Each structure stands twice: as structure tokens, then as C-alpha cells.
Copies of this chain bind each other. A is one copy, B any other.
């Protein structure tokens, strides 16, 4: 339960004139939140459709129930998605992206598109780099 450990004890920095490189800048904050291993994937899925816990777990290859749980709670806290429990016999809970989250998703998707079309070039660059710079 100590997930929200954002001490941020640092005091305000002098100039941040629109630049996003100071500690307390929005950019850093965003990166701190969705820069983890699973947030983007979850938002991506919920962008497609509302989804239940178990469904998310089975669609996201390799996520543990602990991390799914933690990440969902974190995203809910950030107002990027909402939680909808249904009092059926075995309780079911579905998650839905919020307008705020959907808006962010628009930006994220451009990143994803880049990944799908250009990651091969990255792989090639890596191979080249490793070949030239003595691999030993």
C-alpha cells in the first residue's frame, strides 16, 4: 500500500519557462505515472472497450494480478479510468476509460503507431551498432 511514494520533497526550481526539464514539470509527473511497465497497455486496451479485471489479465501477456491491480488503482486515482463493480454472485468489476484518459490515449497511439512502423529500423540500428562496437 505504499504505492504513492511521491515524496517530491524538492522545492520549486527557479525557471521552467515552458521547458519540461525541471523536476516539478508536468512532463516529469506524467512520465512518473504512466512511465511504468503496464499503464500504457491498460489504457490502450480500455480505449478499445470497457473491460473486466480478468479479461484485462488475459489480454495483457505476462502481467501479474498484483501489478494489474496496482496499476488499475493508480490509473483510477489519476482520473484516467473509472471502476465499476457489479454485485453479481462472484463479484465482477469492469473498468472504463475516462474522457481525460481517452484524450491522453490519442497521443499515446501516435507513439504506438511509430513503434509498429519504425521499430524494425531501431532493431537494425542496434545490430549495426553492436557489430561495429566490438561486441566483446
Q: Is the CB of A61 within 8 A of B13?
A: yes
Chain A contributes a number of interface residues (CB within 8 A of B) equal to 56
How many copies of the shown chain assemble into the complex? 2
Q: Determine if A79 and B122 form an interchain contact, defined as CB atoms under 8 angstroms apart.
A: yes
Q: Is A33 within 8 A of B122, CB to CB?
A: yes
Q: When the two chains form their complex, are residues A125 and B77 in contact, meaning their CB atoms are under 8 A apart?
A: yes
Asked if residues B31 and A40 are in contact (CB atoms below 8 Å), the reply is yes
A1-38, CB < 8 A from B: 3, 5, 13, 16-17, 19-23, 26-31, 33, 35-37
Q: A31-B37, A77-B130 are in contact. List 5 more A-B contacts (CB 8 A).
A: A20-B116, A27-B44, A35-B37, A77-B125, A104-B111
